[in-house]
A and B are shown apart, each in its own frame.
Chain A
Amino acid sequence: MEFIEAFIRSAPIFGQGLLITLALTGLTIVFSVILGLIVLGMKVSRFRPLNWLANTYLAIVRGMPLIALLFVIYFGIVSIIRVDAFTAATIGLSVHTSAYMAEIFRSGLSSVPKGQTEAARSLGMSRVQTLRKVVSPQALRVVVPALANQAILSLKDSSVAAFITVEELFLTAQRLSAASFQPLTFYTIVSIYYLAVVGIMTLVAQRVERYYGKRG
C-alpha cells in the first residue's frame, strides 16, 4: 500500500523526468542515425584518409565505456564553451550510439546480394540511384529489428546522463531516494517506468517488423 502511495505521489515529478528521458532518447536516435550514416559513408569511401578517420573514430568510441565518453565530452565541451548538461548528454549519447548505428547499416547494406547492384547498374542506373532505389530499401528492411533493439538500448543508456546532472528519470529517482531514505522504493518505481517505455517500444517495433515482413 505504501509503495502504491509513493508511486502515485511521485508521479508528477517522475513525469517530468520521463519527458526529459524521452527527449534525450529521441534526439540521440535521430542524431546517431545521421552521424552513423556519415561515418559509414566515410568508411566505404574510396578516399583513404576518410577510411582511416572513420576507423579511428569507431575504435575510440567503441573502446570507451559510455560513462567515460560522456564525462570527457561534458567536461571537454564545458571547458571551451558553455553548454547545458542536456546538450552535452545528447552529444555524448549520439556519438556513442553512432558507432553501433554505422555497424547496423553496414551489415544491412552487405546483406543485399551483389546481383541486385549488377541488375540496377546494367539498366544504366548510377551508383547513387542504385543505392537509393534498389539497395537501401532492401537494407532497411533487414535492419529494422537491429534498429529497434538499438533504440531500446539508447533509452536505457540515457540513464547515464544522470551523472552529469541531467534531470531525467534516473536522477529523479536518486534525488527522491536521498530525500526520503527509501532507495528501494524509488529505484523500483523508476525501473517500472523504464520497463513500461521499453514495453511500448517493443510493441511498436513488432508492428513495424510485421509491416515490412508482409511484402516481398
Chain B
Amino acid sequence: MVLNSIDFSVKPGEVSVLVGPSGAGKSTLLRCINGLERLDSGTVEIDGEVLEYKEKPLNHMREHVGMVFQQFNLFPHLTALENVTLAPQIVSGLDAKSARERGVSILERVGLGDKISSYPSALSGGQQQRVAIARALAMEPKLMLFDEPTSALDPELVGEVLQVMRQLADDGMTMVIVTHEMRFARQVADTVTLLADGGIAESGPPSEVLDNPQTERAQAFLRQISEH
C-alpha cells in the first residue's frame, strides 16, 4: 500500500478513528506510527520525539505506544497473565511480583480476572482480544493503536471489546483506531479521518465527516457502507 502526502496528527487524550474502503491505506498509516512500516520520506513524531528506525530508539519508542492487532497475536505458549507480564518484565525491567500485580489488576479491568491462568487457545476471540488490549496497557502506553480490533470477531463478541475500548477512551487514553464500526466511531471518536486511494479524503469531528461529508470520495464511501 502506498500512502502519499499524509498530514495526520492526534492530540493527547484524543480518540482518532480512521475509516475508509479496504485498500485505502488505513492499516498502513497506523503501522507507520510505530515503525512496523517504514516511511520513504517524511517524519513521524511522538511526544516531541522524531521516530528513528535504529534498533534502540525504535524499541524505546515502542515501549510507550501500544498496539492491538486484528488477529490478536497473543503468544500461544503463554497464559493470559504471562502474555501481559512478559514485556513489563523483560523490557521495562519490572520485578516479577510487581509485574504480576500490575497484570492481574489490568486483566481485572478488562473483565478477565478469572482467566489469568488460561492459555489463549482456551479463550474466545473476544476474550483473546481483551487480553491483547491488557498486554498493551501493561506497558503503560501514552498512545494506543488499534488495527481493526473487532474485524476478526464473531458479531456477538464485538460488543465486549468495544466496551473495553470505550472505557479506555473515557479514561482519557490517546487512541488511534482503524475500524469499520461506524456507530462506535460516531459515539467515541473526537476526530474521524476518512482515507481513500492512499490519501486523506476528509477529516474532522464525526458529525461533520460521517453525517455531512463535503468531498465526493467521502460521500461515495458512506453511501457504499450504508447500503448493507
Contacts and interface: CB of A to CB of B under 8 A. Distances in A.
Contacts of A56: none
A118 B73 contact: yes
A115 B69 CA distance: 8
Interface residues of B, number: 29
Interface string B117-158: 001110000000000100110010000000000000000000
A184 interface: no
A125 B91 CA distance: 6
Contacts of A127: 55
Contact of A216 (B34, B59, B77): B77
Contacts of A200: none
Nearest to B83: A119
A124 B55 contact: no
Interface string A136-157: 0110010000000000000000
Interface of A is mostly: helix
A129 interface: yes
A180 interface: no
A210 interface: no
Given A115-B69, A115-B71, A216-B120, A124 B76 contact: no
Interface string A116-131: 1011111111110100
A126 B121 contact: no
Contacts of A138: 75-77
A124 B36 contact: no
B90 A129 contact: yes
Q: Is the contact region of chain B dominated by helix, strand, or loop, or is it mixed? A: mixed
Contacts of B74: 119
Contacts of B71: 115
A121 B36 contact: yes
Given A137-B77, A216-B76, A216-B120, A123 B69 contact: no
Which of B71, B77, B121, B139 has the most CB atoms of chain A within a 10 A radius of its CB? B77
B55 A119 contact: no
Contacts of B73: 113, 115-116, 118-119
Contacts of A129: 90-91
Contacts of A121: 36, 59, 62
A119 B139 contact: no
B63 A124 contact: yes
B36 A123 contact: no
B90 A118 contact: no
A134 B75 contact: yes
Contacts of A215: 77, 119
A125 B69 contact: no
A14 B203 CA distance: 82
Contacts of A125: 59, 87, 90-91
A124 B75 contact: no
A48 interface: no
A175 interface: no
Nearest to A126: B59
Interface string B162-176: 000000000000000
B67 interface: yes
6 contacts: A122-B34, A125-B90, A138-B75, A138-B77, A215-B119, A216-B121
